[in-house]
Amino acid sequence: MSKLLDGLNPQQLAAVTLPHHSALILAGAGSGKTRVLTTRIAWLLQTGQISPSGILAVTFTNKAAKEMVTRLTTMLPATPHAVWIGTFHGLSNRLLRTHHHEAGLPRLFQILDSADQLSAIKRMLKGLQANTEKFDPKKVQQFINQNKDQGLRGEQVEAWDTYNRQLVEYYLAYDAQCMREGVVDFAELLLRSHELLSRNQILREHYQQRFRHVLIDEFQDTNRLQYRWLKQFASADSALMAVGDDDQSIYGFRGAHSGNMNDFQRDYAHDNIIRLEQNYRSQGNILDAANALINQNPGRLGKTLWTAAGQGDALQLYAADSDQEEARFICTQVSTLHKQGHPLSDMALLYRSNAQSRVLEHALFSAGMAYRVYGGLRFFERQEIKHALAYLRLLVNPDDDNAFTRIVNFPTRGIGTRTLEQLDAQARQQQTSLWRAAVAASTDNKGLGRFVALMNALQDPITTLPLPEAIAQVLDGSGLSIHYQNEKDGQDRLDNLNELINAASVFVRDNDSDTDTASGANQTGVMADFLAHTALEAGTHQSGNSNDALQLMTIHAAKGLEFRTVFLTGLEQGLFPSELSMHEAKGVEEERRLMYVALTRAREHLYLSYAHTRMLHGQTRYGIPSQFLNEIPAELVQTIQPAFFGSTNSRRTDERAFTDAWDTNPSAAYSHANRRPQANSRTASLGAASTSASRSPTSSNSPWRLGMSARHPKFGLGVIVNLEGQGEDARVQINFGAGHGIKWLALAYARLEAVSHA
């Protein structure tokens, strides 16, 4: 047996050595799916079942694509470049570069990233004298991209009212502007390549015959257009392998369609499903909690994660009085673990919303603890890099109005707003680009004359020098380097500009033998390919990555990552699951999948926490525990601060203790009453909505107030957590603890009795 197959478990082995037909691989979190994908490719090549040019492998991020290439090269060092491995957008770009004429694009078309696309839309709206208060540029951008992701051109979009008809007109005007300037946005890459294959039968059949094996990673995150794009490569003789996890489908807000997995099973896989259920990341208790939680979702394709690594520690639950106390608790635990030898970088603090991070960051800063907020500006999105790339883009494509607008007066060269407005009007009147209008006006305007002369002078290094040297000369000749040298804090920006030259060197080295990428035409073509690479490159958070620091991030950002210890915060109803999601079952199901992702990021230690009061968006929220906590078996959880309400047998004792506590410290009693029930009384549902202090009481004369205790003849003693309405419509929300949970009651019929503390 080949050494490639050493160490594979039976299910992984079945997936890797699958005969030539389509299959759906349900790959659970931490089940080694990347290894399976790359080993499958290596196995096909090593056994001679297919040539390198006959494989198409698609994934979602450049990081994942690079990891696949690295692993494949390790397995088969002589692997040719003919294997097509990349992202949807990267492969679409490659396809359109090769067939730009058939696609109706210029050979050196440029790619607009999200920021550049927004700038282009703003220019389009300004030229049409649009009301940008009514038609916000970002909303227009969202409208255009959503329709492109659905595979719809402007003329195909149904407009039901005047507002949407106007949006369609802007969509059409934006497309016309992009065609005129020779640029495409990210959504256009996929749509244009799909259209190319769907209408060109000869080209489609060529690629169907070429790619006999098509492999797709993270299939649960595909949208409808991406699935249709993939189907263009499939013939009756093709073997499609879709690898994904319907339980980790968490990007519905981006257009991901989790139903694609069921559709793929029906269209291709039929009954050929392989489940990768052995987890190599997390310990048993963590996996058991995740399995129990996700089993609440209906319609799953179904799998159960397990591990041979043992059960490990119980999950730790902490119920804090406030978000500040929650943050202090986390600081204490992190400090303790760090002193025990756990690196900070192997601990992560996860939250549902970015708005939660402020209190956490403040506590960490006050404690003098090193932390890093995962994310921030990516390298190619930084101001100085965007300026440098704009110079290069305009040198390659003089009709790129976005690039022209960014750099025409940066560094400043005395070209004012009025000059640019006149130039824009002239360009529109003559139906030409801003650059061509500037050339025509350069004899009468000194500022424009200097700019035109500068750009003409910079054409020489672009066309004659190797890529890194050409970029270095543009950075110096444009004045960018001198500009940032004179800035007070410009050294970091200069370092980034130097890093851009390094990136160009790496690009040349990595693509030296790839004729598709290098184009083989001239240095201008190499520059165009490099610019396309920068637009497609996802990048990483660059600053301080060498330092040991606690990782802070949203749960969405944590997907694909793993940590020895995870702190999952803010587990309150209305926060997680989010309040918006609770209005529909599908929304809660996606939130539950997000919770599943959060749990399975942890290898050894998992801390769960919630707060009874939280400052969020300028308001104090009175929180109740997330329903997800109630879906985790009690025997898997250890409560760090015991819940106040105990078992059914001790309920009366608890009620007396609650009343005594209220007399001594009402706020403490209220907090204890909301805490998680003990393991032997997990029957309560925690499914009511979270509340806000901004809600008004039933009336100024009402005897009921937030935090008061009340007794119900059936449900017993509870604490008021919310009131709303007036008169006969007044109702109250009460936390009755473990036995009956949270309930809304109409005051007119509730027969409530206020508990006296006199």
Q: Cβ neighbours of residue 304 under 8 Å, at least 6 residues apart? A: 277, 291
Rounding to the nearest 10 degrees, give the CA dihedral for residues 664, 670, 671, 672: 70
Instruction: List residues bridging with 753 in a β-sheet.
Output: 711
d(CA 169, CA 13): 53
Active site residue 248: yes
Q: Which residue intervals of 465-522 are DSSP H helices?
A: 467-477, 480-485, 491-510, 515-518
315, two tokens? 């999950």
d(CA 285, CA 306): 10
Active site residue 495: no
308 DSSP assignment: S
Q: Cβ neighbours of residue 669 under 8 Å, at least 6 residues apart? A: 644, 658, 661, 662, 709, 719
d(CA 348, CA 632): 21
3-state secondary structure 561-593: CCEEEEEECCCECEECCECHHHHCHHHHHHHHH
Q: How far is CA 532 from CA 455, 474, 513, 537, 539, in A?
A: 21, 18, 18, 9, 14
- Catalytic choice (34, 46, 150, 432): 34
Contact assessment for residue 522 and residue 463, using Cβ atoms and an 8 Å cutoff: yes
514, two tokens? 């790839």
d(CA 599, CA 568): 8
How many C-beta atoms surround the C-beta of residue 517 within 10 A? 21
320, two tokens? 């804090």
Instruction: List residues bridging with 619 in a β-sheet.
Output: 616
Q: Which long-range contacts (CB under 8 A, 24 or more apart) does 252-256 make?
A: 252/586, 252/590, 254/223, 255/146, 255/149, 255/150, 255/223, 255/224, 256/220, 256/221, 256/222, 256/223
Q: Where are any strands of DSSP class E within 28-87?
A: 55-59, 84-87
- Catalytic choice (181, 185, 217, 246): 217
- Catalytic choice (248, 307, 613, 733): 248
- Catalytic choice (33, 352, 382, 592): 33
Active site residue 217: yes
Active site residue 601: yes
Active site residue 313: no
Contact assessment for residue 355 and residue 538, using Cβ atoms and an 8 Å cutoff: no
Closest-CA residue to 315 (of 682, 638, 641, 677): 638
211 DSSP assignment: -
Active site residue 33: yes
Task: Determine which helix (DSSP H) or strand (DSSP E) holds 204, and give its type and residue range.
Answer: helix 201-210
428, two tokens? 């529109």
- Catalytic choice (188, 218, 323, 572): 218
Question: Which sign does the torsion angle of CA 80, 82, 83, 87 carry?
Answer: positive
- Catalytic choice (97, 192, 493, 601): 601
Buried b / exposed e over 173-211, threshold 16 CB at 10 Å, is bbbebbeebbbbbbbbbbbbbbbbbeeeeebbeebbeeb
Q: Could you list the active site residues?
A: 33-34, 217-218, 248, 601
